[in-house]
Amino acid sequence: HGALCMAVSGKCYLSLHSHNSSANRGACKQNCRKKYTVIDQESGFEMEIDNEYIMSPKDLCTIDFLDQIADAGIKVLKIEGRGRAPEYVAKVIKCYREAIDSVYSGNYDKEKVIEWMLELEKVYNRGFWSGYYLGQKLGEWSKGSGSHATQKKVYIGKGMHFFPKTNIAEFKIEAYDMTIGDTLLITGPTTGVKEIVLTEMLVNDEKLIKASKGDSVTIPLDFRIRPSDKLYKVVENKVEA
């Protein structure tokens, strides 16, 4: 699952040629993700194409036929996520872990696949296709240079303190508002990625439904937070068709 190289991975030299930055050394500048025109140098004829991102493949996704992959005897799956955000890794691994368990427990079905696909669409992606596993002859190309994710995160604040006796976490709001009902992400080197729906909070020791920049907020949590943690709000991401 994840990003695909338009060449045999590591064998593309566009980045090295244009930026002296080698893809084979993990420093690809993603030349293939830009718009291009195709011109015949001999005649000057410009080819008419319906998608200018002619070298940018969609992301590979196999979760909708994972049962066939398992039946083929595959024992190890690779998630392509180098340079991706922690919530991307957490979301993708969670979905595939659930799918694998469903395959082996015998309750893998279309309804679950739809739910997993909706979850995968929430994090960074360039659109999905099944690769060449099922006999497809031609690749599928993304329609833009950026992410097609249906959601994005916006920075809200940082962790300040955790009170273990009461399981209360304190945060400092440094940007944007936070309201009861918001979906929040708490991320950190030790904490990992935690997603919660905000159901209650105290704002400057007062029970309120909204917190703003500069406020000190306490939230009941069933896990420890740390001063290195960052607090984000998950919002809708409007993607151009």
Please name the residues in contact with 231: beta carbons below 8 A apart, sequence gap of 6 or more: 155, 156, 157, 158, 159, 171, 173, 178, 184, 185, 186
pLDDT at 10: 67
Domains and CATH numbers, the chain: 14-129 (no CATH), 151-236 (2.40.30.10)
pTM for this entry = 0.86
- Separation of alpha carbons 225 and 212, rounded Å: 20
Give the model confidence (pLDDT) of 82-130 as tens digits.
788 999 999 999 999 999 999 999 999 999 999 999 999 999 999 999 9
157, 233 contact by CB (below 8 A): no
- Separation of alpha carbons 174 and 96, rounded Å: 35
pLDDT at 8: 74
Distances in Å between the Cα of 235 and the Cα atoms of 86, 90, 123, 145, 192 are: 17, 18, 11, 21, 20
Percent share of the chain, pLDDT over 90: 70
More confident residue, 81 or 61: 61
- Separation of alpha carbons 203 and 223, rounded Å: 20
- Separation of alpha carbons 142 and 140, rounded Å: 7
193, 90 contact by CB (below 8 A): yes
